[in-house]
Each structure stands twice: as structure tokens, then as C-alpha cells.
Structure 1
Amino acid sequence: MRRRLRVAAYAVCVRDGQLLLARSPGPDGVPEWVLPGGGAEHGEDPYDTVRREVTEETGYRIEVTGLLGVHSHRFARPRRRLRRAVDHHGVRLVYEGRVAGGELTFETGGSTDLAAWHDLDTVPGLTRIPLVDIALRLWRERPAAGRIRQAPTPDN
């Protein structure tokens, strides 16, 4: 089984009771909301990753105001036709960010196609990836250890 490590950085940007999210096509083609952010390039500091990714996906420049925590997840992807099975380990750094400039725009030719502000109380009704809830919990609880305990699931 092939092993894969992915380090990524995401931002929780809350303004006037709204959360900034980006929309991405889900694995089954159904769009789902995600935190702005993504994978670090080789040699890139995650702090720089989150700032770059937020700008790419939303048009905003952010000031990183803190590290909320780290979420680690691991799961196996079974072998598919002509592909080996993968033991995937994702390490996701979740930062808090404040919009410092730019204007809301949509990414073209990237991993997302739309960005929007959502009222915090409407987020539970959105089709979203589990990391959105994990990040909001980190933002609300601000655990001293920078992590929350939860039952493992295949896609969180």
C-alpha cells in the first residue's frame, strides 16, 4: 500500500457573524462548501500557504491572527483499477484570519468555483465537508492543546 502525507492550511474568517467559505465539486459531483485553504507546496511555510490559498480562492488578502489548532486524519483508499491502494494521512493547520484587503472574487481553473459569506447559524444546513465543523469548533472552543477529540470517520 502506498503512503501519502499531505500538509494543508485553512482559514476561519468570521466577520459580522458570517463565515467565509469556498465551494468545491464533491467526489460525487455535488458541490460542497469548504474552508478557504489547501495543500502546502514543497518548502512552503503553512502560514504562507493559508494566505496564498485564501487569496486564490476568494480574492481576499488576510492577516493571520492566530493558530486555532491542528487536525490530523488518516484513512485508507482501496485499490482501484490500475491504481494502488493509498494510506492517506492529512495534517491540517487551522488558522484564524481577518480580511485585510482585496475583494470577493471566484477562482477560475482551480479547486473551487465560488466563494461566499454565510451566516454562522446557517452553516449547519449547508452541504459541507466535515473540516468546516471541526474548524468552527476550534474557533469557538479555542482548546489550549489546539486539538479536539472526535470519533474518526473516513472523510474527516
Structure 2
Amino acid sequence: MRIVIQRVSHASVTIDSQVKSAIGPGLLLLVGIEEADGPEDVEWMAHKVINLRIFDDENGVMNRSILDAGGDMLVVSQFTLFASYKKGNRPSWLRAARHETSIPLYEAFCARLSEGIGKPVGTGEFGADMKVELLNDGPVTILMDSKRKE
């Protein structure tokens, strides 16, 4: 499981010219799931994201989590995070999980985040052509991979 975490001032996802979800200050998460992922990846990633201290404290030091900051979350599925570009110039998506694997894990991840922060998280729509808009705050952008755990 791979996640691009972006601290944002605001973010939204639009599908067919309709805003599906919008958030104020918080985190935009672009989530990629591969066939090798399972419930343990969901749990590890959710715990890390919820407790990641990337919001400024009163001294301007990144020392607060999304829980401490009271921020929102927007979670968007992003199979392209598992692009393979080793051969040729057209990426391959073979590592990205098929819908029957990725949808339940994506939904479980969103539910776990919502449970962890005590409020609903915004989502996109799995498989839809989405327009994601954001104002990156900082900018703070972090790449997390459940298999590397760096």
C-alpha cells in the first residue's frame, strides 16, 4: 500500500462537474493498493497517518498530529502509484490491485481513518475520472509505503 500524504489548507474532488467531497485544513491522501496488500497494511498505514506529527505547534515546529490539529481528511484512490516504468515509456499497472482486492481495502482504510479521527473522511469515487484540487500547505508532502516502512 502506498500513500502520498499532503498537508493542505483545503482540498476537493470533483466528478462529472459535481463536488463529491471537500475539506478545509487537514490531509489529502492519495492511496494506491497492490495485490500483495491486506488488512495488516490497512491497519499499519491508518495508525501511521493518524499519528503522523506534521502540523505546526505553537512554536512553528511540526509536532502535532491530525488529531491534535482537529483537521479533516480526504482520501482518493490512486492506482497509478503502482506504475512500473522500467521498460519503455508507457507505464504498466500490473502491480496495482484489481477492484475485487482494492475496493474492500480502500473502504476499510477510510473506515479506520474515520474511526481514528472521530469524524467522517471525504472520499472520491473508486474508478471514476476525478478532478482533485488542493492548496498544499507548507508544502508538506510525504510518501509512505507499507512494505518499506521507512
Q: Normalising by structure 2, what TM-score?
A: 0.29
Higher strand share: 1
Higher helix share: 2
